[in-house]
Structure 1
Amino acid sequence: MSTSELGTRLGRSHTHVSRWENGKLTPREADVGAVLGILGVTGDERERLLQLARDAGDPNWVAPGVGKQLTVLTEYERTAQRITDVEPLLIPGLLQTGNYARSIMLGAGATRGEADKRVTYRLGRRDVLSRRTPVTLNAIIGEHALRYPPCEPAVMVEQLRHLAEWAQRDNVEVQVLPLGGGYSPALEGPFVLIEFNRDKPVVHLEHYRSSTTITDAKDVQDYRNAAERLRGMAMSREASAALVAEITDQMEKEK
């Protein structure tokens, strides 16, 4: 259906519909509902899209509950061009092994069944790094996350070897933020900067049982500046790989 035809049926101009399509104008929930009605979208998919429309009305919004977090973050990752994941205390989610992720989830109070389900989902998200046109990932990981594992030593050794393998890919850059380097924006907490080909960048913050999506242009730019500063403060790709290998060997000997 052309924008002109859709606009006619909505009582809108085709330029108005085009502005929705290219992201220059955010449609109201009522507008989205009208479009979905014309296109015959019903049931769960209709409710999902209407909820996205409600959320889009807030420049920055908090999503309580694990399910909604995953839905939002997965969509961002799927459509991203570049992801900068700053994690001072843990291995970034897209680079976690199943055993490492499961250990964290169980430690946070999930049941075995819940953890297994969420691990399967998390590993599936990793496809964005290995598909034909992969996302570029810049993972800035605190040295603390490498030296002080939240899991059994054997699980951490497996995780570090897995991290080293992914770091060899052209689209994955792993940089370690060394301990004792003074203040850095990473001390304020983890964040994920997600940049797209056409859409405006967003920042995703995950907390214990909720997440925050930041879309306000000024706030996002502050995070972009922080990410750039952290890239400069972190060790080079080569030095980071050497440190990961050194820590892995130490843990292997201590197991």
Structure 2
Amino acid sequence: MTVANRRKDGRAVPSPRTVDVAHQRKREDDRPGVWVAYGKLLRKFRIAAGYSQETLAPLLGYSPEQVASVEQGRRAAKAAFTEAAERVLNAGGVLATLQEDVDLAKLPPFFRDFVLLEMEAVSRFDYDPLLVPGLLQTEAYARALFEGHVPVLDEDDIDNNVDVRLTRQKLLTKSPLVDFCFVLGEAALRQQLVGSETMREQYCHLLTQSRLRNVAIQVMPLGAGFHPGLYGGMVMVETSSHQQYGYFESQGIGHVVSEPARVSEFALRYGKLRSQALNIEESAAFIQQLAGER
């Protein structure tokens, strides 16, 4: 190796090819195990059915590159992909059985414990001061958030994040129904993340969701004075076993609160918060007014 390929301390400088190989191995090591297992099963069913990736792709409504990514465990299969693969490959429900775990692995590690609690919830109360909560976001609003993420996400990560966020919204209508309450800070509604038409669509979506029997949406106006929500956002969850938990998140770091005394403080603050916010009818009128301003 020439002198130009060594550092001042005498150690060899990795060649670009070595760096690329190392980077690829790291990406492969980062693949969730359930994605890899799903991909191996998909490949097995595809070969057994006599399809190549190129011939299977149009039958699923995806490109050959996307099929290859799923088989290699680099991309998570969406629910629609799995439904099509089950039908075309006669997979007997094997792939569908993995879908929930595939979706869970899309989530950031810090959020997974909370989502497992959320899936067992009988009630979920949420306060968001700065953004529309994920369970109420439109696809366009969610995509704008992930496209503006720092550090920058690649397209696959953006698609995965949007998909899992929209998939989680099934919680709003699952049976048995979960009792939801969302208190939104006025700033969350006025924050112009995207164009006027997309924000109008978001407001209309909030109004539609507020008409669900199990969903209450309230607005905390900016002129309300001091209220417990000024400490930051929070979520309260009660599970089917009547265990209560709190959750809060900031700058991509989340924490589940299980200590009874601390959870009780969350409940006290949330009750006070709801009493100070606009009521359900006033909140709907407020959001309707914002929709008309766009």
TM-score by length of 1: 0.70
Give the aligned partner of residue 232 of structure 2.
Answer: 189
1:113 Cα deviation from its structure 2 partner: 2.2
Gaps spanning 5+ residues in structure 1: where?
Answer: 1-43, 46-64
Deviates more, 1:81-90 or 1:124-133: 124-133
Give the aligned partner of residue 193 of structure 2.
Answer: 150
Please say if 1:229 is aligned against 2:243: no
Given that residues 94 and 125 in structure 1 are in contact (C-alpha distance below 8 angstroms), is that contact kept between their aligned partners in structure 2? Answer: yes
Partner SS for 2:217: strand
Query: Matches of 1:194 and 1:128 in 2, distance apart?
Result: 13
Give the aligned partner of residue 181 of structure 2.
Answer: 138
Give the aligned partner of residue 15 of structure 1.
Answer: none
Equivalence map 1:1-255=2 (5 Å)? 67-109=108-150, 110-251=153-294
1:76 Cα deviation from its structure 2 partner: 1.7
1:66 Cα deviation from its structure 2 partner: 5.5
The aligned amino acid for 1:116 is D
Write the deviation string for residues 119-160 of structure 1: whole angstroms up to 9, x where unpaired: 101111111111221211100001111122322222211111
1:236 Cα deviation from its structure 2 partner: 0.8
Query: Matches of 1:77 and 1:135 in 2, distance apart?
Result: 10
1:115 Cα deviation from its structure 2 partner: 1.4
Query: Matches of 2:125 and 2:203 in 1, distance apart?
Result: 19
TM-score by length of 2: 0.61
Give the aligned partner of residue 54 of structure 1.
Answer: none
Query: Matches of 2:194 and 2:229 in 1, distance apart?
Result: 22
Write the deviation string for residues 22-47 of structure 1: whole angstroms up to 9, x where unpaired: xxxxxxxxxxxxxxxxxxxxxx69xx
Aligned residues: percent identity? 29
1:107 Cα deviation from its structure 2 partner: 1.2
Given that residues 182 and 216 in structure 2 are in contact (C-alpha distance below 8 angstroms), is that contact kept between their aligned partners in structure 1? Answer: yes
Given that residues 66 and 209 in structure 1 are in contact (C-alpha distance below 8 angstroms), is that contact kept between their aligned partners in structure 2? Answer: no
1:103 Cα deviation from its structure 2 partner: 0.6
Given that residues 247 and 254 in structure 2 are in contact (C-alpha distance below 8 angstroms), is that contact kept between their aligned partners in structure 1? Answer: yes
Give the aligned partner of residue 62 of structure 1.
Answer: none
1:195 Cα deviation from its structure 2 partner: 1.1
The aligned amino acid for 1:108 is H
Partner SS for 2:110: helix
Given that residues 173 and 237 in structure 1 are in contact (C-alpha distance below 8 angstroms), is that contact kept between their aligned partners in structure 2? Answer: yes
Write the deviation string for residues 85-139 of structure 1: whole angstroms up to 9, x where unpaired: 1001111111111111111111123233211111101111111111221211100
Given that residues 143 and 178 in structure 1 are in contact (C-alpha distance below 8 angstroms), is that contact kept between their aligned partners in structure 2? Answer: yes
The aligned amino acid for 1:99 is A
Given that residues 104 and 151 in structure 1 are in contact (C-alpha distance below 8 angstroms), is that contact kept between their aligned partners in structure 2? Answer: no
The aligned amino acid for 2:220 is L
Gaps spanning 5+ residues in structure 2: where?
Answer: 1-32, 35-105
Partner SS for 1:212: strand
- Cα 1:66–1:123 shift into 2, 3 Å: closer
Give the aligned partner of residue 88 of structure 2.
Answer: none
Query: Matches of 2:156 and 2:252 in 1, distance apart?
Result: 18
Query: Matches of 1:209 and 1:227 in 2, distance apart?
Result: 22
Partner SS for 1:81: strand
Query: Matches of 1:235 and 1:92 in 2, distance apart?
Result: 18
Partner SS for 1:170: coil
Given that residues 183 and 274 in structure 2 are in contact (C-alpha distance below 8 angstroms), is that contact kept between their aligned partners in structure 1? Answer: yes
